[in-house]
Copies of this chain bind each other. A is one copy, B any other.
Amino acid sequence: MADKKLVEAITSMEEDFAQWYTDVVKKAELIDYTSVKGCMVIKPAGYAIWELIQKQLDERFKATGVENVYLPMFIPESLLQKEKDHVEGFAPEVAWVTHGGLNPLQERLCVRPTSETLFCDFYKNDIHSYRDLPKVYNQWCSVVRWEKETRPFLRSREFLWQEGHTAHATMEEAEERTIQMLNLYADFCEEVLAMPVIRGRKTEKEKFAGAESTYTIEALMHDGKALQSGTSHNFGDGFAKTFGIQFADRDNRLKYVYQTSWGMTTRLIGAIIMVHGDNSGLVLPPRVAPTQIMIIPIQQKKEGVLDTAYALRDRLGSFRVKVDDSDKSPGWKFSEQEMRGIPIRVEIGPKDMEAGKCVICRRDTGEKLETALDELETKAGEILERMQKEMLERARAHRDSHTHIAQNMEELQDVLDNHPGFVKAMWCANQACEDEIKEKFAATSRCMPFDQEWVGDRCVCCGKPAKKMVYWGRAY
């Protein structure tokens, strides 16, 4: 059965989830490895997903007043070193440019791992008066972090992202923007990627280098591991004081600005794979599927079949639709369409044509139904909408059924080892307990959720009075 080859080529997720993931990214032709260790090629099928993410995220940004800019990819060493916590967080993992052309540089430049320092250097000259505020800028670019262990989309030495950097007249306004962007990220994940997330705040230990507070959205992958999917940071006036970013306020007094930054990355493509994928490959939520409908002609050499397929494609022009008219067998085409996660397959052959019908097959459930040709457009629209909704519901049900409560260290270990997923447990807010949990169980605090539904009164680790409910988990 040549038709089964493509599917058999991937490991089942129950057998080896990591290998399943690697197989899917390769067989769905999302990426390729390169001669540059830790860097990947994002192939057309992968990049088209990123383009859809970019477009929809960018529209949401702009609706809140965000303006796009572009800053240099290089940061002079002295600039990176200005903010103490920040440089400690990033210096060990940056790539250094030491030569330009044939000459050594007077000062090393790092390839940006993130651009807080550059934005500060820019804002220092660009902001003078309260009239110049707020600045709500964003850039789409690539960044570099010299990771030792890399995995496609999840952790690579170079990745694509957007980084928003804002400056405000007051702390309240900065905090409001920080939360606004986190909620925008969460809504985007749920509405577009069909991926439910927990919204919360990072502990002191886990917050961003240089931030006063870091907010995060955390998603649960199919294997029960957590994935940090977007973060939003409030810097207070810390960076502004270090870099000297001041403005003349309405009262004519010079004040420091308050800043935020927030980012999402190509890691989201890894999240889509691990939340929705199955043993036939990728499953794409319709809103980020580069091809939403693949029309596969049956017995395409028979007269009129291809023409009918093309006519259906034209009739479905309000969707992202293609005809697979290659000379492969229909079975092979089915496997390919499934592997690539295309939401809907339409099968059309001579018998269907005679009956004025076609077969629709839904990627996520495998459900098949016959449809009259003249109802195809309506039906396809309905199915795509239902699929988007049900994929979110299924992911939420999976997340909820893989979220447990632990009251003490024994329960915590039991859940982590035997029921992979999120663990809700109370915490005394002391970093020693967080360290102990990380050391003993290789689990981290994912966030202190906004929704502080207390599941006990005592710290899961030390038993002292609890201050916060925390989501714990093993994470990518």
In angstroms, Cα B435 to Cα A395, docked, is 68
A34-B72, A36-B76, A158-B73 known; A95 vs B94 contact (CB < 8 Å): no
A160 within 8 A of B: yes
In angstroms, Cα B67 to Cα A51, docked, is 11
Are B137 and A111 in contact, with the CB atoms below 8 A? no
A405 within 8 A of B: no
20 more A-B residue pairs beyond the given contacts A35-B79, A101-B146, with a C-beta to C-beta distance below 8 A: A34-B72, A39-B72, A39-B73, A41-B69, A41-B70, A47-B68, A47-B69, A47-B70, A48-B68, A50-B70, A72-B158, A73-B73, A74-B158, A93-B101, A95-B99, A96-B97, A97-B98, A100-B146, A131-B326, A141-B142
Are A44 and B72 in contact, with the CB atoms below 8 A? no
7 shortest A-B CB distances, which residue pairs? Answer: A39-B72, A44-B67, A100-B146, A96-B99, A42-B70, A101-B146, A36-B72
Of the candidates B35, B71, B96, B157, the one whose C-beta lies within 8 Å of that of A98 is B96
In angstroms, Cα B32 to Cα A141, docked, is 18
Of chain B, the residue at the smallest CB distance from A51 is B68
Shortest A244–chain B CB gap in Å is 13
In angstroms, Cα B137 to Cα A47, docked, is 11
Shortest A134–chain B CB gap in Å is 13
A109 within 8 A of B: yes
Are B160 and A41 in contact, with the CB atoms below 8 A? no
* Chain A 106-126 interface mask (CB, 8 Å, partner B; 1/0): 000101000000100110011
* Chain A 371-398 interface mask (CB, 8 Å, partner B; 1/0): 0000000000000000000000000000
A40 within 8 A of B: yes
From A68, A73, A98, residue with most partner B Cβ within 10 Å = A73
Are A75 and B36 in contact, with the CB atoms below 8 A? yes
In angstroms, Cα B34 to Cα A76, docked, is 10
Shortest A113–chain B CB gap in Å is 10
Show 19 residue pairs from A and B whose CB-CB distance is below 8 angstroms, ordered by the A residue. Answer: A34-B71, A34-B72, A34-B121, A34-B122, A36-B109, A39-B72, A39-B73, A41-B122, A42-B71, A47-B67, A47-B69, A47-B70, A48-B68, A70-B142, A70-B160, A95-B99, A95-B101, A95-B109, A111-B111
